[in-house]
Structure 1
Amino acid sequence: MVGSDGTCRCCRIAVRLGQDEEWLAAELNREVLTPGRPLQLAVEVDGLRLNAFPLRQSRGHRPVKRPTWARKGPPVPEDDASVCVEEVPGQLGLFTPWPRTFTREHARRIAGRTLPDLPAVVAELRKLAAERGTGATWMEHTSGGARLALASRPPDEHLVRPEALVDLPQMRPTIHLALQRAGLLAPARPRLVPGWMSKRRGSCTDCLAWTNDDDQRCAKCLNWRRTHSAHACDRCGRLLPVRDGHCRRCLLLLAETEYDLDRIALDGADQLWFGGVFAPRLRTSIDRTGRMAGIYGRRRLQTKRLALVRATRAARPVSEHLAVPGQLPLFVMDRDWSAFLARPMPALTPAATRLVDGFAAHIRTRSWNKDSLQASLRALRILTAHFGADAPLHEAEIRRLARYTHLAAPRVINYLRSVGLLAPDAKSDAHLAGARRLADQAPAPFRAGAHRWIDVLCAAGSRPSWPLAPSTVRSYVRKTAPCLKAWHAAGVDDFRAVTVDHVQQALAPLRGEARKSLLTALRSLFRALKREKLIFRDPTRTIAVTTARPLPRPLADDQLVGALDRLTSARDRLTLSLAAVHALSVHDQRGLLLDDLDRTRGLLLVRRAGGARHVVYLDELTHQLVTQWLAERHRRWPASTNPYLLITAQTSADDSHPKAHSNAINKPLRRIGLQASRLRADRILDEAKHTADPVQLIKLFGLSPATAWRYVRAAHPDRIHREKGLRSASRPTMPSDGPGAG
């Protein structure tokens, strides 16, 4: 607890007893000593009172008795040269004078300095004291202020500047009046304001940037007004040209503070910026892709965002669900990746980082466009962030993740397979799966038999057999499904109850090829069931269907004229030549291998089912088209390892090395009104017209004898009929039994 003089009771007693005269001298001289004074403890005796009155008392109390040496006061210096240093007349200052802060102590320290005009000012102050009825203390304070005002004048000026009176400690209006009466006050000068400030506010009216010029808007905002229409900004509410609902200033502020690395975002306020060359820029031009560049169009903002993203990723924890090598799952469930994608992605482990970096290097070695493969990189990063890279990743999990937007799976699966980190799923054919679904949808009495039929077609029956193509199996089941439903509706609940009449009723509404296809499927069904000993007899055995088999027809001459010039791609021109000149089917062209091409000798080996091989001798045109296609293939996909001759953008990047799809060959030909099968048939038919020898067709095109004979009959129908007639006429006739015979 302290009193009005700022001292406690113990310190007052010690000072009055003369135990701290050093502090008392410093108090009188207004000096500052280090706090914490050593004190002698006092003993309190009954009947003896120690004086603890304040050292400085207010008006109305008796004065405090001070020591004799303290009553005289400290010696006053005559003139302190460090206060208001005298300057050399005529010398220009290097810097503008700084504002001063005078105190009464400064006036006391120059009390001995001789100032020529001080007596005149003091005389005016005495007149004012007489007018106002003030005493010696008022006179002491005002004369000290006048002394400071006169001492602070520049050496070349006789009058005191009015703006210099602000530096005085007190009594400024009185000193101002005394100087004015003494004729020592200079006239007031107008305020110095730059010309640009008197004309304009100095900042842009749109973005509020301090431009320091005469324009009301900066150059960036003027360009912004030319390309954007004015509306109310969704953020600041001002009527300004906006983009995406925000003005230029709000867009800049959002771009700078969304990833606030510099800590410039304010709570309830916005940070202003300088204009001109120091102003932040917002790119609004069209980029190379033809789209309007957004907030992160400039490199600085993009780098700033990426820096914070990296820092945020480094601070994230590692996933708690890392897969352990060799650990078996307790149960298998389909994972809902939407919950994972909605949360921040965990940090990558060192092994996961190496795997992702290896995939990026794999992309570069294949000369793929990294920007177009961001979906694959993002998918691999998400997988390794949650499961790690120590255990193989399941293929089904990767495909399930790729169902979401901006994610892709094929290249990730191929890369993980190549590095041995893929747990492949059991392969299932889409056609067989469709056939099984159709069998499940059949009436209950026929389901078991339908599944047993599918097993036989897939060579999985009780007796060995050749498997059919999955597409053929699905086609058979699809065609027989309506018959099974119709028989069940008619009261037939077993395959053994199906009769010839039931089959005839199913075939009655159909004609031509549809009738024959249904009979073929039903015959396959009942033959398989009888083979598996599920039925006793085959109801389709005695049913025969005859259909007209169309013969090959030639193409019109105008369809082939200029066909090669209407195709622009080297691959499409090559497929046209292989079909129209060498009669290669779409299936043959898809299976052509690079290793089977010998350009030096002009040979191309065609591998067919069953181990059959056919050698094609390339003509000059086809040889040139092959050379052009190989050059284009190397230019577009130089690092592709696909072994097939014809590849596409998809098959070139797939490490599983699939064949090109049939649409890659058929679609370009359909655009010009042609078909690969019609071109092949036209070429074989044209050769058959010239040779009429089926053996020559077999050698030239690798056909079967039946197919070669069919083309010969189509090319020479009259000759075939004539030969049949000659063979019929040369047969011997038996004599008829009539009258006289015997």
Structure 2
Amino acid sequence: MPRTVTSCADCFAWGLTYAQGICMPCYNFAAPHKGYPSGECAACGRVQRLKQGYCRLCWCQAREDRTRLASDARSAVVLAPYLAGIRWQQLFLSLSDRRQAPPRTAPRRYGTKGRPSKQPPPHAARPRSAWLQEPLLPPGPRHYRAVVDLRAGPPPDNPWLAWGLHLAHTIAEARGWEPTAQRAMQRVLVMLLAEHREPDRIRVSDFAAVTARQYINLDYVVEILTTMDIVDDDRPASLEGWMATRLAGLPGPWRRDLSNWARMLRDGSPRSRPRHEGTVRTYVAAVIDAAASWPQRDHLREVTRADVTTHLATLHGRRREAATTALRGLFRWAKTHKLVFRNPTHGLRGPKVPDPIWPLLEPDDISASVTAATTAQARLCVVLAAVHAARPGQIRALHLDDVDLAGRRIIIAGNSRPLDNLTAQALLDWLTYRRERWPNTANPHLLVSTASAMSLAPVSATWIL
């Protein structure tokens, strides 16, 4: 947009003007999305864009008149009474039109970045109760709200709140939380514990929305309340919601049996160990695809061996291996619980897909991949995968102690490997960025993110991808 120094065509202010010879405030005032109509100004009579019948120049003049004529608090805030009395215009420079911050009512406190950190909460322990009043009726849902502004006064005098604030401060110091996260946690704890009494229990479903409004991770709040042993985590398992969505298109008997089988896989049984939730989702998704290919089968007992082999013939590689394992496990479980008369997968053997042997990358390919990565963490992940053949899970599991820059060694999945120049430089770049971005984090992992920097867990699988 071309710029020049001249008088604005709309407000006559001297300064930088842009398209159509107007200054930036007048350009924004006439923006189409604001919907201000054009017409004759009620004060100056010019044909301009009008806000409530007055042009921008008259609004600026009304602000000047208010500063000079206001006699009480209300007159110092409202502009409308001064618009009708405008009879002249005081020209100004475009820079002088910028609004100034109101004067401070209290002296500035000096310290780190101008404001010293507040004193940490005093040490506190679990309150001792001489007696307990058991509730007569089960408690209903509670609605938490702000009780006190911690910037204006101390927290309420409640021993449970004092203990919660002490625990939050201890965790924040140990994990290097940012001050904004510490203040958000304090506000949430004040809302939850200001009126807490033993043996009351706090349900997660009652305050989940509170943590979202305060921009604090719900799991961190649950961790503190779990340490205090006053929380009931009634959140539905993530697998339940996923199954309800994926199984919605199947007949009722399929939904019932697949849900029970998936819960058995997740929780385990006397004769089987619990499976990882990712494994459960993979198996359930494979069975759902198979059930979708059998629209005429409304129950597990109606599935024949021909149905199974026909479906598996349409799959290849890893998908066929996973589907075979899932179907065998499902019908074995159904036969044990007497849901089917015969197991249609008895004796069925699926293909064993060998792990692929990845060819070595040429130096030019590695250089091109590293150059394409635009961030320090992306370059490090590319180098570890391309040079050291590290898998995503192994990269996420790397600790700071696994890197020995002085000795030029790195330990990946328990194997010590020499550090080449490319990997060493990528590690130096990432460690420099990590120290500048999260200087106080206590996370021992090599890779950290904004979320994992506040905890001790590795980065998520989706972050590294």
Indicate the TM-score class for this superposition, using the shorter chain for normalisation: 0.5 to 0.7
Could you tell me the percent identity over the aligned residues?
A: 20
Matched, 1:583 2:403: no
Instruction: Choose which of 100, 103, 110 in structure 2 pairs with 1:298.
Output: 100
CA spacing shift, 1:478–1:237, aligned 2, 3 Å: farther
Structure 1 distance, partners of 2:78, 2:430, is 62
Structure 2 distance, partners of 1:252, 1:651, is 52
Matched, 1:351 2:131: no
Q: Which residue of 1 aligns with 2:280?
A: 473
Report the secondary structure of 1:351's partner residue: coil
Superposed displacement of residue 457, structure 1:
1.6
Give the number of the structure whose alpha-carbon radius of gyration is greater. Answer: 1
**Residues 302-340 of structure 1: per-residue CA shift (max 9 Å, x gap):** x69xxxxxxxxxxxxxxxxxxxx99968444486x9xx8
Which one-letter code corresponds to 1:578 in the other structure? L
CA spacing shift, 1:357–1:330, aligned 2, 3 Å: closer
Structure 2 distance, partners of 1:591, 1:377, is 30
Report the secondary structure of 1:559's partner residue: helix
Matched, 1:614 2:421: no
Q: Which residue of 1 aligns with 2:436?
A: 635
Say whether the 8 Å CA contact 1:351–1:390 is kept in structure 2.
no
Matched, 1:657 2:462: no
**Residues 382-433 of structure 1: per-residue CA shift (max 9 Å, x gap):** x578656343865444432466xxx453357636855968847356553454
Q: Which residue of 2 aligns with 1:434?
A: 242
CA spacing shift, 1:549–1:597, aligned 2, 3 Å: closer
Structure 2 distance, partners of 1:394, 1:237, is 62
Matched, 1:645 2:446: yes
Superposed displacement of residue 270, structure 1:
2.4
Superposed displacement of residue 517, structure 1:
3.4
Report the secondary structure of 1:563's partner residue: helix
**Residues 50-76 of structure 1: per-residue CA shift (max 9 Å, x gap):** xxxxxxxxxxxxxxxxxxxxxxxxxxx
Query: Structure 2 matches for 1:658-697, cutoff 5 A?
Result: 658-666=457-465
Which runs of 5 or more structure 2 residues have no equivalent in the other structure?
A: 1-7, 16-20, 31-37, 106-131
Report which stretch shifted further, 642-651 or 546-555.
546-555
Please, what TM-score do these two structures have when normalized by structure 2? 0.63
Report the secondary structure of 1:615's partner residue: strand
Report the secondary structure of 2:102's partner residue: helix
Please, what TM-score do these two structures have when normalized by structure 1? 0.42
Report the secondary structure of 1:572's partner residue: helix
Structure 1 distance, partners of 2:191, 2:340, is 55
Q: Which residue of 2 aligns with 1:313?
A: none
Query: Structure 2 matches for 1:154-173, cutoff 5 A?
Result: none
**Residues 630-654 of structure 1: per-residue CA shift (max 9 Å, x gap):** 22211121111222111123322x3
CA spacing shift, 1:644–1:395, aligned 2, 3 Å: farther
Structure 1 distance, partners of 2:80, 2:320, is 81
CA spacing shift, 1:378–1:410, aligned 2, 3 Å: closer
Q: Which residue of 2 aligns with 1:222?
A: 13
CA spacing shift, 1:466–1:483, aligned 2, 3 Å: same
**Residues 443-494 of structure 1: per-residue CA shift (max 9 Å, x gap):** 2333443233223322433x3323222122122222222544665x53654x
Q: Which residue of 2 aligns with 1:250?
A: 59
Query: Structure 2 matches for 1:343-382, cutoff 5 A?
Result: 348=149, 350-351=154-155, 368=178, 381=187
CA spacing shift, 1:560–1:640, aligned 2, 3 Å: same
Superposed displacement of residue 434, structure 1:
1.6
Which one-letter code corresponds to 2:383 in the other structure? S
Q: Which residue of 2 aligns with 1:239?
A: 46
Report the secondary structure of 2:416's partner residue: strand
Say whether the 8 Å CA contact 1:283–1:298 is kept in structure 2.
no
Say whether the 8 Å CA contact 2:404–2:410 is kept in structure 1.
yes
Which one-letter code corresponds to 2:304 in the other structure? T
Which one-letter code corresponds to 1:454 in the other structure? A
What RMSD over aligned residues (CA atoms) do the two structures have, in Å?
Answer: 5.2
Say whether the 8 Å CA contact 1:242–1:248 is kept in structure 2.
no
CA spacing shift, 1:267–1:243, aligned 2, 3 Å: closer
Which one-letter code corresponds to 2:155 in the other structure? A
Q: Which residue of 2 aligns with 1:686?
A: none
Structure 1 distance, partners of 2:71, 2:279, is 59
Matched, 1:399 2:208: yes
Structure 2 distance, partners of 1:266, 1:537, is 82
Q: Which residue of 2 aligns with 1:564?
A: 370
Superposed displacement of residue 659, structure 1:
1.7
Which one-letter code corresponds to 2:461 in the other structure? S
Which one-letter code corresponds to 1:471 in the other structure? G
Q: Which residue of 2 aligns with 1:490?
A: 296
Say whether the 8 Å CA contact 1:399–1:409 is kept in structure 2.
no
Superposed displacement of residue 499, structure 1:
2.9
CA spacing shift, 1:389–1:221, aligned 2, 3 Å: farther
Say whether the 8 Å CA contact 2:44–2:58 is kept in structure 1.
no
Superposed displacement of residue 247, structure 1:
1.9
Say whether the 8 Å CA contact 2:208–2:218 is kept in structure 1.
no
Matched, 1:457 2:269: no
CA spacing shift, 1:526–1:236, aligned 2, 3 Å: farther
Q: Which residue of 1 aligns with 2:125?
A: none
**Residues 527-547 of structure 1: per-residue CA shift (max 9 Å, x gap):** 222344544542112334447
Which runs of 5 or more structure 1 residues have no equivalent in the other structure?
A: 1-216, 286-292, 305-324, 608-612, 667-742
Instruction: Choose which of 332, 339, 344 in structure 2 pairs with 1:527.
Output: 332
Say whether the 8 Å CA contact 1:443–1:485 is kept in structure 2.
no
CA spacing shift, 1:385–1:263, aligned 2, 3 Å: farther
Which one-letter code corresponds to 2:423 in the other structure? T
Structure 1 distance, partners of 2:292, 2:386, is 46
Which one-letter code corresponds to 1:627 in the other structure? L
Which one-letter code corresponds to 2:82 in the other structure? D
Q: Which residue of 2 aligns with 1:261?
A: 73
Report the secondary structure of 2:14's partner residue: helix
Structure 2 distance, partners of 1:265, 1:637, is 43
Which one-letter code corresponds to 1:465 in the other structure? S
Which one-letter code corresponds to 2:444 in the other structure? P
Say whether the 8 Å CA contact 2:403–2:409 is kept in structure 1.
yes
CA spacing shift, 1:262–1:516, aligned 2, 3 Å: closer
Say whether the 8 Å CA contact 1:499–1:539 is kept in structure 2.
yes
Q: Which residue of 2 aligns with 1:28?
A: none
